[in-house]
A = this chain, B = another copy of it.
């Protein structure tokens, strides 16, 4: 596509105008994960998409987990990862590894990538990494009723002031999915849920979950059953049927929760497609699945 003529390049830029206008000054929370966090080309594409958002006046906030890197580090420390019902069994040692990997490695890699592209002399657009422990951003209590899975937490309070401070000064916050308990204990929290909680707390215009699927299927086996738009109420019904594949459940729950708590649009999109963020935000071809408060017909620009 580098072979596009400058005239076509210019024409395409102007097609993004209404979207740039609509999201100017708004906050978009992006759950970053899956292949888009592993494949080098996809990583670079995400970084550019996020920087473009920032430069056109949007406040992007990235939230990430990092399961595979955690399991990898655990094995290097001679500890076999164990899961119950999709949740990592998190004893004290595991929690320490989770935190070191997510906050000390994954987070800083994302920050460094953004800063390498973002340019050092530019006043704004630099990334700052946080864990949920910084400024008490994400506060949690122990998850109970899911069996004995250790220090897995459920977010019960957020303190988003630090995000406003950073975004207001032009920085891009990058948040790892570690939370702090009232007792000082660290908790491992689901990154989709953390992203939803942050989107609600900061009054985001959009929550976007980057996944490794095209979106939500009514019937996962039937690739023609992709759902373009679904209301939060319908999402709850679908969740209640118990027929969804396991990986999609926390994602759809996060979207439903965000929308129920005031985020106008939550999206599950395909992170394996380069620039899927830009396609979702800046083109008329909305992609993946959009969760909305009520049935709307497709109106991608409503903010």
Q: Which residue of B lies closest to A45 (CB)?
A: B14
Q: A159–B18 Cα gap in the complex (Å)?
A: 20
Q: How many Å from the CB of A136 to the closest CB on chain B?
A: 5
Q: Is A285 an interface residue (CB 8 A)?
A: yes
Query: Are A116 and B171 in contact, CB atoms less than 8 angstroms apart?
Result: no
> A127-B134, A171-B165 are known contacts. Are A11 and B275 too (CB-CB below 8 A)?
yes
Q: Which residue of B lies closest to A278 (CB)?
A: B10
Most B Cβ at <10 Å: residue of A6, A122, A127, A166? A6
Q: Is A197 an interface residue (CB 8 A)?
A: no
Q: Mark A34-56, 1 if CB is under 8 A from B, else 0.
A: 00000000000100110110011
Query: Are A111 and B128 in contact, CB atoms less than 8 angstroms apart?
Result: no
Q: Which residue of B lies closest to A277 (CB)?
A: B10
> A14-B278, A166-B165 are known contacts. Are A115 and B135 too (CB-CB below 8 A)?
yes
Residues of chain A at interface, number, CB under 8 A: 87
Q: Which residues of chain B are within 8 angstroms of A10 by Cβ–Cβ distance?
A: 49, 274-276, 278-279, 282-283
Query: Are A12 and B21 in contact, CB atoms less than 8 angstroms apart?
Result: no
Q: A133–B287 Cα gap in the complex (Å)?
A: 34
Q: Mark A102-144, 1 if CB is under 8 A from B, else 0.
A: 1111011001110111111011111111110111100100000
SS class, residues of chain A in contact with chain B = helix
Q: A229–B259 Cα gap in the complex (Å)?
A: 49
Q: A104–B97 Cα gap in the complex (Å)?
A: 9
Query: Are A285 and B6 in contact, CB atoms less than 8 angstroms apart?
Result: yes
Query: Are B171 and A14 in contact, CB atoms less than 8 angstroms apart?
Result: no
> A6-B279, A13-B52, A100-B104 are known contacts. Are A134 and B129 too (CB-CB below 8 A)?
yes
| Residue positions of A touching B, CB distance < 8 A | 1-2, 4, 6-18, 20-21, 24-25, 45, 48-49, 51-52, 55-57, 73, 76-78, 96, 99-105, 107-108, 111-113, 115-120, 122-131, 133-136, 139, 159, 161-162, 165-166, 169, 171, 178, 180, 184, 186, 273-276, 278-279, 282-283, 285, 287
Q: Can you pick out 29 interface pairs between chain A and chain B where the beta carbons lie within 8 Å of each other?
A: A1-B8, A1-B12, A2-B15, A7-B273, A9-B15, A9-B16, A9-B279, A9-B283, A10-B275, A10-B276, A10-B278, A11-B274, A12-B12, A13-B16, A16-B52, A17-B48, A20-B56, A24-B55, A55-B56, A78-B78, A99-B105, A100-B105, A103-B104, A108-B134, A115-B133, A126-B162, A128-B135, A129-B133, A161-B169
